[in-house]
Amino acid sequence: MKLQSALIIPAFFLLFIFSGCSNSNKKEYVKIEGFTQGGTYHVICNIPNGVRPKAIKKVIEQELTAIDNSLSGYNKKSILAKINDGEDVPLDDIFIEAFTVSKQIWYESNGAFDPSASPLFDIWGFGFKHKSLVTKAKIDSILQFVGMDKVYLEKRDTDSLIYIVKADPRITFNFNALAQGLTCDLVARKIEETGCSDYLVEVGREIVCKGESPRGGNWRIGLDKPFDGNFDEGKELQDIITVTDRGIVTSGNYRQYYVENGEKYAHTIDPVSGYPVKHNLLSATVIAKNGTIADAYATWFMVIGLEAAQKIVSDRSDIEVYLVYGAQDDMKSWQTDSIMTTTEINNE
């Protein structure tokens, strides 16, 4: 979740949105955009009759504020920040949803996806704090209090509110690996409440879309080539995927990394080992029923690598993936059969 600086995102990727202007159905589409979570958001939607764009923008920004007050690691007044500081505070629905989905996927992934690995993200320089000296002893110490099995939700009789309970007070959280996908879902729900049925919500280049695009048919999402240092949005595309009624998220290690003593350290940290991953999977694009699941799975697959990700999706019909792997100068791709791509790529 890009809550402050795009330089510390643990699940960073880039999608370029293709939406033309033609519209055979004469629907009226508007584009609403602004700043949030250390970056930008964009919403393209077919507005219902009688609904003003300003009203939709107000609904969107109210929801974005609520998300910031719940899950931001930089907003010192947020629920997450208070919990990470050791305070005992009641949770809101946003935090509960993030926690519940995270714990479910932690079980599914055997710990490869784990928001309680926040201290590991911090020491490697990809969390809420500045990088510190990393030693095996420090990692071993942190691993003793990492794991979603060490935390649970509790409804208290005193006020009927829900709180989080930690087995160890040192446990902290970082929901960056699914928070922007969740943000897209929450904003999409609010848009639908206004009557919009055709829309695309993009937050930090993570996407949820539904219905028709302005040019008719499915939405067209471009995937950037995942070569190291590719910061130029949409300039060099790997492929274009056509999709609707789904969430689509890409995670990769080609933007968030650093080189120290000649060795590359990727921002994807394995919560089980405590170390940055080292494998040939360059990016993982996941299409799922919503942005939250797509976001979490993309991170999970970047942790476990190509072969393990392929094995998981071979038994699943509810998710689609597009994986780019290999060397920087010899990239290859693998995708599930149901993914729809187009040949409209011009990288010149």
Q: Give, for all 348 residues of the chain, the pLDDT tens digit.
A: 333 322 222 333 334 444 444 444 578 899 999 999 888 999 999 998 889 999 999 999 999 999 999 999 999 999 999 999 999 999 999 999 999 999 999 999 999 999 999 999 999 988 888 888 899 999 999 999 999 999 999 999 999 999 999 999 999 999 999 999 999 999 999 999 999 999 999 998 899 999 999 999 999 999 988 866 655 665 678 899 999 999 999 998 766 655 667 676 677 999 999 999 999 999 999 999 999 999 999 999 999 999 999 999 998 999 999 999 998 889 999 999 989 887 565 554
Tell me which amino acid residue 222 is.
G
- Report pLDDT for 20: 42
**Number of C-beta neighbours around residue 54 at 10 A:** 9
Residue 333: DSSP 8-state = E
Q: Please report where in the chains the tokens 């206004």 appear, as a residue.
A: 194
| Max CA pair span of the chain | 64
- Report pLDDT for 164: 98
Residue 130 structure tokens: 């500045």
* Residues contacting 141, CB < 8 A, separation 6+: none
**Number of C-beta neighbours around residue 318 at 10 A:** 9
In the chain, alpha helices (H): 53-71, 79-84, 93-108, 118-123, 136-143, 176-193, 291-304, 306-313
- Report pLDDT for 4: 30
Q: What SS3 class is residue 334?
A: strand
Q: What SS3 class is residue 147?
A: coil
Measured CA distances, 120 to 10, 204, 333 (Å): 11, 23, 30
Task: Report angle CA 244, 58, 190 to the nearest 5 degrees.
Answer: 40
Residue 192 C-alpha from the chain's centroid: 21
Within 13 A of 75's CA, how many CA atoms are on the CB side? 19
- Report, in this order, helix, strand and coil percent for the chain, each rounded to 5: 30, 25, 45
Q: Which CATH number fits domain 78-175: 3.40.630.30, 1.10.3980.10, 3.40.50.2000, 3.40.190.10?
A: 1.10.3980.10
**Could you tell me the strand order of the sheet in which 39-46 lies?**
29-36, 39-46, 199-203, 206-210, 246-252, 281-288, 320-327, 330-335
- Report pLDDT for 5: 26
Within 13 A of 17's CA, how many CA atoms are on the CB side? 26
Residue 156 C-alpha from the chain's centroid: 31
Tell me which amino acid residue 62 is.
Q
Q: What is the pTM of this model?
A: 0.90
Residues 1 and 12: their CA atoms lie apart, in Å, by 8
- Report pLDDT for 25: 53
- Name beta bridge partners: 162: 155
